[in-house]
Amino acid sequence: MSNTNTHRPRVLLAKIGLDGHDRGVKVLARSFRDAGIEVIYTGLWQTCEATMYAAMQENVDVVGVSLLSAAHMTVMPELLRFRKELGVEGIPVVLGGIVPADDYPKLIDMGVAAVFNPGSSMESIVDCIRKLAADRSAATFEEAMAGYDLGRLNALAQLISCSQRGSLPENFTPPAGKAKIIGVTGSPGVGKSSFIGKLATDLRSRNLKVAVVAVDPSSPITGGALLGDRLRMMAGKPDDGFFVRSLSSGTMVGGLGPQCGEIISLLDGFGFDVILLETVGAGQADVSVRELVEHILLLLMPQSGDAVQFSKAGIMEIASAFVINKSDLDGADATEAQLITSINSDRPVWRTSTPKAEGIQAIGDWVAALPTT
């Protein structure tokens, strides 16, 4: 089960509190990506608890917090408290924003690894992130496995990182699970992540434990990646029954990333009831997902094709069911009629609108009724 992947630094960027815009942190995210770093951005108005919970699931190398509200002496102690409670004290936390120089020593004393002001150069920030990531001690397979066997989520996240680094033993096989493993695919911009967030909420209401493996594209130039799918799935208080792990595609084609199969096996063995594998925005020939899942939801959107397009070979053939997402847009009726005519089978076709949470319950019913393996 080993591989020769090079581990790239993984950084989670968070906007905590009531800051009204995130232009600056988005510039940081793109700069980190261009520097060959994998970046997970969690969006505006996050809580300290949700931020560290996401960092734990993603097992990032560094957490970067952007604050412009002068709340650093309130926010950072709370963030570090949750870091300790979640058992991830080894993840360094850095702060950027409008921070008086007199507060720098206080922040460092409480455990903040570095503080940056608006005048800090991008080069110095990237260099600091690289050093912190390189100096971070990663959990060994034995350490992660001990916690995994006890059902600890931080250990599951660490074991997934072992898979990504290629440090799982050759003879290691996770325990057998009974998860329903479902691929979610479709073209870029069709709304896969938002759809998954709503579907996961419905499944959690049925007391099903849900895990998501979300794959985003890597830069073909730098190898960095902006992993933005979690942004559209985070909502409300963290939930131990909803686990999200973001992956980059690396050099793989077909819509997946390295070690997807191993990671699904680890999640299955941990006891999740449903595992959703979200592909990179897919084209007609991106059908690799069928090798790892039992069922496939193909998302389309109104005016995304006609009867001829829907009749073509490839991704249309591998779908177990079809979801016309964003069905509140014009053209949904025509798209549904042409799709049903073209597929000429009993595969389900649903219409959904994720902002309105319309049509999600019927898909939840379908998932809940699928047989377990």
- Same domain membership, residue 362 and residue 251: yes
Percentage of the chain with pLDDT > 90? 79
How big is the CA angle at 41 (ends 40 and 45), to the nearest 5 degrees?
145
15, pLDDT greater than 70? yes
Question: Contact, 94 vs 132, CB < 8 A?
Answer: yes
- Three-state DSSP class for residue 120: coil
- Same domain membership, residue 186 and residue 51: no
Question: Contact, 144 vs 90, CB < 8 A?
Answer: no
- Same domain membership, residue 362 and residue 230: yes
Give the pLDDT confidence score for residue 329 in this predicted structure. 93
Q: Could you say which of 102, 135, 168 is where a domain stops?
A: 135
Q: What CATH number corresponds to the domain at position 202?
A: 3.40.50.300
User: Kind and range of the H or E element at 350?
Assistant: strand 349-351
- Same domain membership, residue 186 and residue 119: no
CA distance 168 to 145: 10
Reported as a pLDDT band with limits 50, 70 and 90, residue 217 is: very high
For the ranges 10-24, 210-224, 340-354, the lowest mean pLDDT is seen at 10-24
- Same domain membership, residue 184 and residue 99: no
The tally of domains found in the chain comes to 2
Which residues on adjacent β-strands are paired with residue 10?
38
286-294 mean pLDDT: 94
Reported as a pLDDT band with limits 50, 70 and 90, residue 2 is: very low
**Which pair of tokens denotes residue 201?**
């909420």
- Same domain membership, residue 196 and residue 341: yes
Q: Do the domain assignments include residue 223? A: yes
The amino acid that residue 110 corresponds to is M
269-295 mean pLDDT: 94
111-128 mean pLDDT: 96
Which residues on adjacent β-strands are paired with residue 213?
245, 277
Reported as a pLDDT band with limits 50, 70 and 90, residue 312 is: low
Cα distances from 171 to residues 1, 2, 107, 165, in angstroms, run 7, 10, 45, 16
207-229 mean pLDDT: 95
Range(s) of the domain holding residue 104: 10-135
Helices marked H in 45-186 — which ranges? Answer: 48-58, 72-85, 104-110, 122-135, 141-149, 153-165
- Same domain membership, residue 130 and residue 185: no
Q: Do the domain assignments include residue 2? A: no
Give the pLDDT confidence score for residue 306 in this predicted structure. 59
Give the pLDDT confidence score for residue 283 in this predicted structure. 85
Say what the pTM is.
0.94
Average pLDDT value for the chain: 92
Q: Could you say which of 103, 135, 167 is where a domain stops?
A: 135
Q: Do the domain assignments include residue 361? A: yes
DSSP structure string for 242-308: EEEEEEE-TT--SS--TTHHHHHHHHHHHT-SEEEEEPSS--TT--GGGGT-SEEEEEE-TTS--HH
CA distance 370 to 368: 6
- Same domain membership, residue 314 and residue 225: yes
pLDDT tens figures, 229-265:
898 898 778 999 999 999 999 988 888 999 999 999 9
- Same domain membership, residue 335 and residue 215: yes
Q: Do the domain assignments include residue 169? A: no
Q: Do the domain assignments include residue 175? A: no
- Same domain membership, residue 231 and residue 103: no
Q: Do the domain assignments include residue 1? A: no
**Which pair of tokens denotes residue 276?**
């959703």
Percentage of the chain with pLDDT > 70? 96
Give the pLDDT confidence score for residue 336 in this predicted structure. 93
Q: Could you write out the three-class secondary structure of 163-193? A: HHHCCCCCCCCCCCCCCEEEEEEECCCCCHH
208-228 mean pLDDT: 96
Q: Do the domain assignments include residue 148? A: no
Q: Do the domain assignments include residue 239? A: yes
Q: Could you say which of 80, 111, 135 is where a domain stops?
A: 135
pLDDT tens figures, 55-82:
999 999 999 999 987 899 999 999 999 9
133, pLDDT greater than 90? yes
- Same domain membership, residue 332 and residue 184: yes
- Same domain membership, residue 198 and residue 347: yes
The amino acid that residue 117 corresponds to is N
Give the pLDDT confidence score for residue 5 in this predicted structure. 45
How many other CB atoms are there within 10 angstroms of residue 255's CB atom? 25
Q: What CATH number corresponds to the domain at position 15?
A: 3.40.50.280
Beta strands in 8-120 (DSSP E): 10-15, 38-41, 62-67, 93-97, 114-116
Give the pLDDT confidence score for residue 305 in this predicted structure. 63
